[in-house]
A and B are shown apart, each in its own frame.
Chain A
Amino acid sequence: MTSPAKIERPAPSRLTQSARRKIVAAIGLGLAALLVFDYLASSSDGVIGILSRALVATVLLAGIFALITTSTWFMMNAPDGALDERERALRGRVYFDAYVALAGVVAFAGLYFATLGPDFGLWMPQNQDQWWTIAWAALSLALLLPTAIYAWRAPDPLVDEI
């Protein structure tokens, strides 16, 4: 066991587990909504598409801001030496689970776009904008998944006491 290095640590998360879970759910719904709006935007007028995207983007940015301004972000990005054995173990599990989840999503997406979509007449991206949206959603998922899983799992913060 290595003692945590003397690195300035943020205060324990101000957010309870329940609050963090709501934020993660809002980000997930926001990403899903962005994909749905993009699909609808191909058949609706431009103003509705832009407004709906702007609304979803605001929710996403607010949720991401809430996560990165709490200790959640620190826990996922701090060097190993700054964390103790419990924190390193939790982070290791979170990264492993994020990898498994992401591998599942990528495998499903590959299967869908290569076989399921074209063969069964399911929805497929109609234009370059929709492909870009999917690419951005995939990138956001890859970047945010570990933080989101950690935010979901980390227990309520404790206070110092005698």
Chain B
Amino acid sequence: MLHNRIALLRAERAVSRKDLAEAVGVNFQTIGYLERGDYSPSLELALKIARFFNAPVEVVFSLEPFESLTAQLLRAGETKKENV
């Protein structure tokens, strides 16, 4: 299964499913099914989505589950403390 951060990136940039779908040339329902993990995109669609968010494809898609945002923030906070 392919994991993705599409919902997070969309929410962060206030982009609707329809806007993203139109930009990458798919039906907005497909974006919803991608976000739910019900569908794995072709390489071309994955690259188009990554390009839309102006991010490397591995930032948007991963074969491993993504770390939660909270865990990332905690880890970043600890690293900052260590550096101080």
| Contacting residues, chain A, for B16 (C-beta < 8 A) | 160-162
| Contacting residues, chain B, for A1 (C-beta < 8 A) | 25, 42, 44-45, 48
**In the assembled complex, how far is the CB of residue B64 from the closest CB belonging to chain A, in whole angstroms?**
23
CA of A85 to CA of B15, assembled, Å: 22
| Contacting residues, chain B, for A158 (C-beta < 8 A) | 17, 28-29, 32-33, 36
| Contacting residues, chain A, for B30 (C-beta < 8 A) | 84-87
The residue that A160 contacts in the complex, of B14, B28, B44, with Cβ under 8 A, is: B28
A–B Cβ pairs within 8 angstroms, 25 of them = A1-B25, A1-B42, A3-B25, A3-B26, A4-B27, A9-B27, A12-B29, A84-B25, A84-B26, A84-B27, A84-B30, A85-B30, A85-B41, A86-B26, A87-B30, A155-B33, A155-B38, A158-B28, A158-B29, A158-B32, A160-B17, A160-B18, A161-B17, A162-B10, A162-B14
B39 at the interface (CB under 8 A from A): yes
A110 at the interface (CB under 8 A from B): no
- Across the interface, name the chain A residue whose C-beta is closest to B40: A86
- Across the interface, name the chain A residue whose C-beta is closest to B26: A84
- A87 contacts B27, CB within 8 Å? yes
A92 at the interface (CB under 8 A from B): no
A157 at the interface (CB under 8 A from B): yes
**In the assembled complex, how far is the CB of residue A113 from the closest CB belonging to chain B, in whole angstroms?**
42
| Contacting residues, chain A, for B14 (C-beta < 8 A) | 162
CA of A76 to CA of B14, assembled, Å: 33
Contacts A2-B25, A86-B30, A158-B33 aside, 9 further interface pairs with beta carbons under 8 A come to A1-B45, A4-B27, A85-B41, A86-B26, A86-B27, A87-B27, A155-B33, A160-B17, A160-B18
